[in-house]
Structure 1
Amino acid sequence: MSTPLPPDLIFREAALLSELVSEEQWRTAVSEVKHNRKDAGTPPPKTDEDRSLICDEIETVLIRDDVITPYQATQLRAGRTKLTLGPYVVTEFLGQGGMGQVFGGVHEIMGRRCAIKVLPLDKSDELARESFNREIRLQASLDCPYLVRAFDAGREGSVHFLVTEYVPGTDLRQLVKDGGRLSVQQASSIVAQAAAGLAYAHESGLIHRDIKPANILVTPDGHAKVADVGLAALMFVPDDDPRAGKVVGTADYLSPEQIRTPDQVGPQCDIYSLGCTLYYAITGKVPFPGGDSRSKCKRHLTQAPWDPRKYAPELTEAYVEIIADMMEKDVSKRIQSAAEVVRRLSPWASIHPDEGEAWLAELGISLPDENTRSKKPDPSRAAGLDEQFIEEDLAWKTSSGAATGSSAGNSDSVHEDHSASSGALSSITDDPPPPPLPEQGTRAGASSQASQISPLANSMLPTAAPVPPPLASGRPMVSRSTMIAAVIAAIVVSGIAGFTLAMVLDI
């Protein structure tokens, strides 16, 4: 059994084999580390732990010089050398989306940053592949400033992936989780932009069916985009959707009709879910907290949530009316179009002048520029307001009529809310180490067999352990010409020896 390689040799071999790091870049980083350690009087490494510390220092230099990213460093130190999907170099792990893992990447020629959604191998059955391919086709047909755009799609081996635009910032769920409930203006602006994106999707014959805070991406300057639109179903061709008849969505934001008749849903189901999303953004609470997915579905069918003014006392009656009209359990009484949601939120919303302004104008919608809106104190940020309760009355505008039907007979297909949607850079500092690409384990030649180390792996550190040569097989290896020469030489030597012996004996 061969001896495992020390950490510094694993790191170096993987870095060079991956072609992310050149030999010159590696030598430069190592030279700086050696110089710094010498100046600090640090003794030479003696254990694998010491060598891991050296790897930390080399990693820091390579990341500082923009040679590799932190995610790439983690994978390389584990001996993984495959960090590409087609023409895209994977640079980071963004999170887990509804259809698989999402990575950040860069096109190796164009240099364009993007998000790469990878279908997990353990879900690569016929239904999952059909849904994934459907998402690719649908997203490719959409072009709206308030929807995440699809750029490319591909397959490498058994790995299927979708490439979308990269949206810097975070998602709405993480935004609220990190900073608390939003101001009326901020929540209205984000939800109005999401509604504008849904208006475009609905006009294209698409229903999202999984609107939630984690699927609304928000850039640092407040621009919002709806992600995962490809998970939608064609409104007018339900039989074409491989998931038709199944409950699709997230329990906290499901509309009643998605639970009762999941094969008969229209654009209004997205409006209900968007109303739940606005409720969450403005209060910091989901409409029906606590309980499992089945109990949440039952409450969507039969109960009204707490009046949002319990958590946001500054809300006006008119604003509460908008949330209530979006969350009406009776579809016929609910706001009927996403464009109407934008119009009704416009008095509180604002946007930065961008490509979306002209697009909204085509819908007859004009949101005021943030710079022209008068700056007023934000009462939602006042200390202690979250603890103030207006009253215990649940009879706000939301329909209180009990709905009929089962409470999610397909509840096993309903999932809990997760952050890190495609294209969003979400905070994952508390998560476990980021995963590698599917089927991209440690290369056999990178860390397991010392006999397979390339010539580039000659030690660059003064105390690096020598690489042992391959064990001899016990069987001499000689060429044919050498063997013939040896036979001739043996014949000549034996002839001379025989002649000399005959002379001595005087035969």
Structure 2
Amino acid sequence: MDNSLFKQSAIKSGLISKTQIEKVIEKVESDDDAIIAATLVKSGLITEYQAQQLHAGRTKLTLGPYLITDWIGQGGMGQVFKAVHNVMGRECAVKVLPLEKSTALSRDSFAREIRLQAGLDCPYVVRAFDAGQDGNVHYLVTEYIPGTDLRKLVRRGGALSMSHAALVVSQAARGLQYAHDIGLIHRDVKPGNILVTPDGRAKVSDIGLATWSMGLDDDPRAGKIVGTADYLSPEQIRNPRSIGPASDIYSLGCTLYYTVTGKVPFPGGDSKSKCKRHCEQTPWHPRKFAPDLSEDFVDTIADMMEKDPARRIASAAEVAERLESWCTTSFEVDRPIERQAWTAPPIGIESEEGAASVEGASETSRPPKAGEDGGDENAQLSSLGSGAASGPSDSQLPPLLDQPVDPAMARRRRRPFPIGFFVGLLLGILIGGLTALFSVREYLAP
């Protein structure tokens, strides 16, 4: 047996013994690392992710008592891994604060997230199990939810039907109502933060940007816009200190709009442009993209997305009640999660794909290509709004997209017709015509 990098790393990591490797070599009659790794993966001794890391010479695949088995994805605060407790054998998700983001502020925010999530116990909210520190790496352990998130579900399989969308969003609404009842505001409700199990059950995740509705004194991001541009409520944009449960309901309305149409409410443009349109414009009528939606269902979305918080649906519980008539008992998410096309990063190393800084400058989004949903759901905001904005002025903003009003929209949803302008235009034409007529008659008179 040669001393290749893979074999050395495998033995050093403690995942595989030298004897096991020798037995595999004898069985496959080859000393090729790729064949040996594939055999070990097939036998269940290591996972594909672990094989990737061993091929790269990385040997530390543990965080405290947790063995990292796979890479789940990237969140606003850090990476998320799948892991197994080495004693209990329970599968879980481990969120890791990357070393390069481990500033005093980020550590405080991460610790705050841990404390917030530790007190949550609801079937519609992701539960926290544990938290700890391994060397300089801080991590949070939560329950592992098999399946996918709502954004990936829609992007891979298309918009959901009314009944399936109602089932998922109503469960998310119940999770938000639980949070609101204990005084917690999520602040970043979006499809990517609603996890959907293979049998169609939904749980709200990523409590990292949440705040207490009774006070913001302990929040290092107080007074800043935090969240995702495609789903921000107008009051979050105008005055981040005035947010309440109604802000989450608006964001959930935007999420429901995306779920049944496959489009964000205001696609294209950068974060500043999206914020302006959230405050001033109405999105395309949902039936433009989903003709089968009923008028009552469309009105429910509209009532959740009212610009004025006082006119919105009053509570998340009422959202769930209004969606109940369309809910199916369950549905199967028969769209398997595809494997990552690229090698996942090691523990504690930042991945650029999908990364979004919680306390960085607002990101600029590219315009969507044909068939995309806006492409910038992960753009996080923190430096806009009330005194903290350092971005371009309104005169520097890109032109807003036209937002035609669909004839099928309820009359109360339409913009008021500019009667004054129309009357003025007619009077101008009439006066101009009479003036021209008198001038011609005077010129032709003998």
Q: TM-score, normalised by structure 1?
A: 0.66
Counterpart CA distance in 1 for 2:256 and 2:40 is 43
Which residue of 148, 160, 182 corresponds with 1:182? 160
TM superposition shift of 1:13: 0.9
**Residue equivalent to 1:67:** 45
**Residue equivalent to 1:27:** 22
Which structure 2 residues correspond to residues 157-176 of structure 1 after superposition, within 5 A? 157-176=135-154
Which structure 2 residues correspond to residues 87-486 of structure 1 after superposition, within 5 A? 87-352=65-330, 427=338, 429-430=340-341, 432-438=342-348
Q: Structure 1: which 4+ aligned runs deviate by more than 2 Å?
A: 425-430
* Contact 1:95-1:426 at 8 Å conserved across structures: no
One-letter identity of the residue aligned with 2:10: A
Deviations 1:31-76 (A, max 9, x none): 1221xx5xxxxxxxxxxxxx7xx21111111001110000000111
Counterpart CA distance in 2 for 1:101 and 1:285 is 26
Which structure 2 residues correspond to residues 77-96 of structure 1 after superposition, within 5 A? 77-96=55-74
What secondary structure is seen at the aligned counterpart in 2 of 1:347? Answer: helix
Counterpart CA distance in 2 for 1:102 and 1:95 is 5
**Residue equivalent to 1:462:** none
Counterpart CA distance in 2 for 1:187 and 1:76 is 41
CA RMSD of aligned residues (A): 1.8
TM superposition shift of 1:122: 1.7
Counterpart CA distance in 2 for 1:303 and 1:186 is 28
Which structure has the greater CA radius of gyration? 1
One-letter identity of the residue aligned with 1:112: R
What secondary structure is seen at the aligned counterpart in 2 of 1:182? Answer: coil
Counterpart CA distance in 2 for 1:292 and 1:105 is 36
* Contact 1:223-1:351 at 8 Å conserved across structures: no
* Contact 1:251-1:296 at 8 Å conserved across structures: yes
One-letter identity of the residue aligned with 1:68: I
**Residue equivalent to 2:394:** none
What secondary structure is seen at the aligned counterpart in 2 of 1:270? Answer: helix
Which consecutive unaligned segments of at least 5 residues does structure 1 have?
A: 38-50, 353-369, 372-424, 441-507
Counterpart CA distance in 1 for 2:209 and 2:25 is 47
Counterpart CA distance in 1 for 2:209 and 2:279 is 23
Counterpart CA distance in 2 for 1:426 and 1:199 is 29
* Contact 1:256-1:301 at 8 Å conserved across structures: yes
Q: Kindly indicate whether structure 1 or structure 2 has the higher relative contact order, using CA contacts under 8 Å at least 6 residues apart.
A: 1
TM superposition shift of 1:426: 5.6
* Contact 1:95-1:428 at 8 Å conserved across structures: no
Counterpart CA distance in 1 for 2:54 and 2:299 is 54
Counterpart CA distance in 1 for 2:222 and 2:242 is 9
One-letter identity of the residue aligned with 1:62: L
* Percent of matched pairs sharing the same residue: 61
Counterpart CA distance in 2 for 1:160 and 1:428 is 26
Q: 1:351 to 1:145 in 2, by over 3 A?
A: farther
Counterpart CA distance in 2 for 1:121 and 1:243 is 21
Counterpart CA distance in 2 for 1:106 and 1:17 is 19
TM superposition shift of 1:348: 0.4
Counterpart CA distance in 1 for 2:51 and 2:259 is 36
Counterpart CA distance in 1 for 2:152 and 2:116 is 27
Deviations 1:195-221 (A, max 9, x none): 000000000110000000000000100
**Residue equivalent to 1:14:** 9
Counterpart CA distance in 1 for 2:273 and 2:208 is 28
Deviates more, 1:222-231 or 1:302-311: 222-231
* Contact 2:131-2:140 at 8 Å conserved across structures: yes
* Contact 1:216-1:225 at 8 Å conserved across structures: yes
Counterpart CA distance in 2 for 1:304 and 1:19 is 58
One-letter identity of the residue aligned with 2:43: D
Alignment coverage as a number of residue pairs: 347
